[in-house]
Amino acid sequence: MDLWTHPRLTAAVASQDWAVLLRTYRRLTGISQTKLGGLVGLVQPDVSDIERGRRRVTSVEVRQRIVSGLGIPPALLATVGERAVPPPVTGLALTGIAPDADLLARVTNAVGGAERVDTATLDWLDRLLAEHRRAEDVIGSRPLTDVMRQQLRTVVDLHSGARGELADRVVRLAAEHAQFLAWMAQDQADSAAALAWYDRAHVWALEAGDAGMAATTLSMKAHMAWSGGLGTRCVRLAEAARWSVPGTSLGVRGMAAQMEARGHALNGDADESHRLLDEAQTLIGQAAERPEDEPPWMYFYDETWFALQRGMAEMHLGSWSVAIGHLTGGLAALPDDYRRDKAWYRACLAHAAAGAGEAEQALTVALQAVPDAAAVGRPHAWNELHTTAAALLRHRAPEGRHLVAALKAHD
């Protein structure tokens, strides 16, 4: 497989995101920062600073050294030259599924012209949100995005007609909708929109006095950092979810602990990662004894889910066989209609098998994941399958070519 057909690399070239480009290139090729620096004429600390966002690549000379040293194809660069690089996104002036100008004004100021609201209306909206969350597990986020945006408009319009405790409950419900929209934006790889919605959800949660949601938004921002390969940021956000919002449930605390563990795993700190994973496992066991104490959005947090998270942490630590055990067990217990999650964790399992040198197993599992990854698992599961193919080819396993052919057939 041509390395430069990988979706993350092509996207990084198109946006001239040098940090993502260097991190992804190293992940796919398995080389160190020192070796990559030798290819592009940079010392290891400079490579590290670029990857972590501490240093921006602004010099034409440095860009050219990266292009030449890594062998970026001219065809990819030609498409970049035909359009201006988009300006950095700041604040809430975002695209995708982020708030548009009208919605932003309304959700920020919580104004509208609704009739007086009552408990029965809010109970119905609570149930409707819960049903949409479960539907998203099955069909993915894209079919629900517009629906949830309109539903949030409805909730915000209720605020002007609410009084006392009902007004607080409307704000809490708005926070839950914003958090769900953030998750769907993240699922669609729209990071800027996801951060905007998480920030809005966090502020509303604090306004409503909802400690569980306030902590959850920090944990989910930690998850975003983990997805971007930023281990230290993941750790710090997860720590904030634990100590800055007291009074959360056992499950919410367990989620923060496992997110912190995954950040340490990303940084290669096995001892701290395992300590926090053990702590999270204890918390999830205790939470399972009193499910009524958990907030409604924590419905998925159970031993099956935790086993899958633990498997991903072990992948970062290079404990491939241990990861395979956790991922296999978790997948066996995951409901069959969770197509998107099945695709993602199968892709992770295929990657772990490739890392363990089990090429045949890697191909078998990857081929099981391909249809759902193509249909409801883009971009995350799809990218992970490309990473698996690269790992197989790096080890000169013929199964890599078979997986590449299967991926091309679904492109």
Say what percent of the chain tops pLDDT 90. Answer: 48
Mean pLDDT (the chain, rounded): 85
Contacts of 106 (CB under 8 A, 6+ apart): 112, 153, 156, 157
The first and second tokens of residue 151, run together, are 């539903």
Please give the average per-residue pLDDT across 255-260, as a whole number: 96
* 356-372: pLDDT as tens digits: 999 999 999 999 999 99
Report long-range pairs for 31-37 (Cβ below 8 Å, ≥24 apart).
none
160-195 core/surface letters (b: 16 or more CB in 10 A; e: else): bbbeeebbebbbbbbbbbbbbbbbbbbbbbbebbbb
d(CA 276, CA 289): 20
> pLDDT tier at 92 (50, 70, 90 boundaries)?
very low
Please give the average per-residue pLDDT across 325-350, as a whole number: 92
Does 223 score more than 90 pLDDT?
A: yes
Q: How far is CA 396 from the centre of its chain?
A: 30
Of 54-58, 211-215, 331-335, where does mean pLDDT reach its minimum? 54-58
Please give the average per-residue pLDDT across 280-306, as a whole number: 88
Q: Higher pLDDT residue, 102 or 268? A: 268
Q: Higher pLDDT residue, 78 or 302? A: 302
Please give the average per-residue pLDDT across 348-353, as a whole number: 97
Q: Cα-Cα-Cα-Cα dihedral of 126, 129, 133, 135, to 10°? A: 120
d(CA 123, CA 139): 25
Q: Higher pLDDT residue, 152 or 138? A: 152
Q: Higher pLDDT residue, 121 or 323? A: 323
Q: Higher pLDDT residue, 161 or 197? A: 197
Q: Kindly report the length of the chain.
A: 411
Phi first, then psi: what are they for 349, rounded to 5°?
-65, -40
Angle of CA points 192, 193, 199, to nearest 5°: 90
> pLDDT tier at 2 (50, 70, 90 boundaries)?
low
Does 79 score more than 70 pLDDT?
A: no
Among 393, 340, 341, 384, smallest CA distance to 366 is for 384
Of 17-31, 108-122, 277-291, 309-323, where does mean pLDDT reach its minimum? 108-122
Amino acid identity of 123? Answer: D
Phi first, then psi: what are they for 72, rounded to 5°?
-65, 125
pTM above 0.85, yes or no: no
Answer whether 36's CB lies under 8 Å from 65's CB: no
Does 408 score more than 60 pLDDT?
A: yes
Please give the average per-residue pLDDT across 169-179, as a whole number: 94
Q: Higher pLDDT residue, 371 or 291? A: 371
Answer whether 62's CB lies under 8 Å from 69's CB: no
> pLDDT tier at 99 (50, 70, 90 boundaries)?
very low
d(CA 277, CA 339): 26
Angle of CA points 180, 184, 190, to nearest 5°: 130
pLDDT of res. 220: 96
Does 248 score more than 90 pLDDT?
A: yes
Q: In which residue are the tokens 């958990």 written?
A: 294
pLDDT of res. 182: 95
Q: Which ranges constitute the DSSP H helices of 119-210?
A: 119-139, 145-158, 165-187, 191-208
Does 94 score more than 70 pLDDT?
A: no
Does 112 score more than 70 pLDDT?
A: no
Domain ranges (residues) in the chain = 3-81, 98-209
Q: Higher pLDDT residue, 156 or 59? A: 156
Contacts of 351 (CB under 8 A, 6+ apart): 315, 362, 384, 387, 388, 391
Helix (H, G, I), strand (E, B) or coil at 51: helix
pLDDT of res. 111: 37
- Please determine, looking at this structure, whether the domain spanning 3-81 carries the CATH number 3.40.50.1220: no
* 154-163: pLDDT as tens digits: 888 888 778 8
Q: In which residue are the tokens 């391909």 written?
A: 370
Helix pair 250-266, 231-243: axis angle to 10 deg? 160
Provide the total of helices (H) and of strands (E) in the chain, helices listed first. 21, 0
